[in-house]
Amino acid sequence: AEGGALHLPILRTHADLYDPAVRDRLLAGTMLPASVVHHAQRVRRAFAAQVSAVFEEFDLLLAPATPVSAPPIGDATIILDGVEVSARANLGLYAQPISFVGLPVIAAPVPGAALPLGVQLIAPPWAEARLFAAARRLERAFQ
């Protein structure tokens, strides 16, 4: 809803500038009732509190960035748990919850795989310096 509201002036006059899937998601967001948006914001705050509690025990989190290796260019589907699904709709499954709560995160490639694979380092709010330092150490370890 927030993204749709932000982009609506441009969408009204230059919708063709957007990737069709992105355009459709933004337009769908503009049609959400205020009550749905308000409820989503409450859910976001509750989820953020739960995730932030993890950082009472850990300085950073290391997690997969995507559920599978990157598909070859042009492939529209991936296999998850033996089921063929949309790549566009599912590659962000592990990154979207972190973006949803607004935590600092850096994704880094993991070398050695035939197709790109990545991890994400996740930090608590306002710990970007710690995140950047850890990402640099991870990058050196992978070299």
pLDDT digits (tens, 9 = 90+) for 110-139: 887 677 788 999 999 999 999 999 999 998
Average pLDDT score over residue span 75-96: 90
Cα–Cα distance measured from residue 119 to residue 98, given in angstroms and rounded to the nearest whole number? 13
- Determine phi and psi for 21, rounding to 5 degrees: -65, -40
- The radius of gyration of the chain's CA atoms, rounded to the nearest angstrom, is 18
Cα–Cα distance measured from residue 142 to residue 135, given in angstroms and rounded to the nearest whole number? 11
Average pLDDT score over residue span 14-34: 89
Domain ranges for the chain, please list them: 57-142
* In the chain, % of residues over pLDDT 90: 51
Q: What is the pTM of this model?
A: 0.76
Q: String of b and e for 68-97 (b: at least 16 CB within 10 Å)?
A: eebbeeeeeebeeeeeeeebeebbeebbee
pLDDT at 88: 85
Residue 60 pLDDT greater than 90, yes or no: yes
